[in-house]
Amino acid sequence: MSPKTSPFEGLIQLIEHLRGDNGCPWDRKQTPQTLSVYLIEEVYELVEAIQSGSPEDVSEEAGDVLFLIFFLAAMYQEKGDFDIREAVDANIRKMRNRHPHVFGDTTVDSAEDVRQKWHQIKAAEKTKQKSTSLLDSVPRQLPALMRAYRISERAARTGFDWDDMGGVLNKAEEEWQELKTELARDASAFNREDVAIEYGDVLFTLTNVARFANIHPETALSAATRKFEKRFAHMEGMSGKTGRRFEDLSFDEMHALWLQAKKHTH
């Protein structure tokens, strides 16, 4: 890469070299389908780095994501489908169009006003594409909890929603009772499929509770899982100090350690 070459041009040149005749056999055999798996993994690693609060880790993982995005674009360019520069130019035009309060004469009063106008503009763009439902724009490959949030968000914009938090909480209680009813059936009437359906209804309704509370269920669950991991590790550490394996403790002993862990971790 020459001194005058931009980092992005240098990245393009690197990928072209890796995909070239004298490049790497592994890189040459990749397809958009195979690369998509690595892209998903790297995005999750980037999210984890962001949640860790380490700028160094975020920088490294962001670079990995950028590399795979450029790599993906390079494969399409090889087939003559599109060039990464064309994709960037198209995105710039789209972003300018979606910010008329910055690049046009539209006036907004708040961040929520911006959000509403963003969705209106996006919806107008989607009408130019073939679609049978407002929900079609939500990717089917999203993690289930994240997709549930987006689906409920899209549906709510049409007015198909509860009036307030009280309404959605009542629905959550209703779904919870239906799940408890299925779980309480005796062995002869117990049906795992029915339990799964009711359990899914509870999760979907709780996703709407999160939406009304202006929190994201995926982020909230990730935080709760990390908290559990930290407390569990603390329990294992305290058990190790006694010279006993954690799995050899009784439940009462484990519970006592759990209460201690709650006091020392957040």
Instruction: Note whether residue 109 is domain-resident.
Output: no
Confidence check: pLDDT of 1 > 70:
no
**Same-domain status, 171 and 243:** no
Reported as a pLDDT band with limits 50, 70 and 90, residue 4 is low
Domain that holds residue 190: 130-215
Instruction: Note whether residue 26 is domain-resident.
Output: yes
What does the pLDDT read at residue 127? Answer: 65
Q: Could you give the number of structural domains in the chain?
A: 3
Residue at a domain's end among 97, 117, 139: 97
Residue 136 sits in a domain of what CATH number?
Answer: 1.10.287.1080
Instruction: Note whether residue 181 is domain-resident.
Output: yes
Most confident of 152-156, 166-170, 241-245: 166-170
**Same-domain status, 68 and 92:** yes
Exposure string over 18-53, b if 16+ CB within 10 A, otherwise e: bbeeeeeeeeeebeeeebeeebeebeeebeebeeee
Per the CB < 8 A criterion, the answer to whether 206 and 225 are in contact is no
| pLDDT (mean) for 43-67 | 93
Using CA of residue 89, residue 38, residue 230, residue 220, what is the dihedral sign? positive
Residue at a domain's end among 97, 122, 140: 97
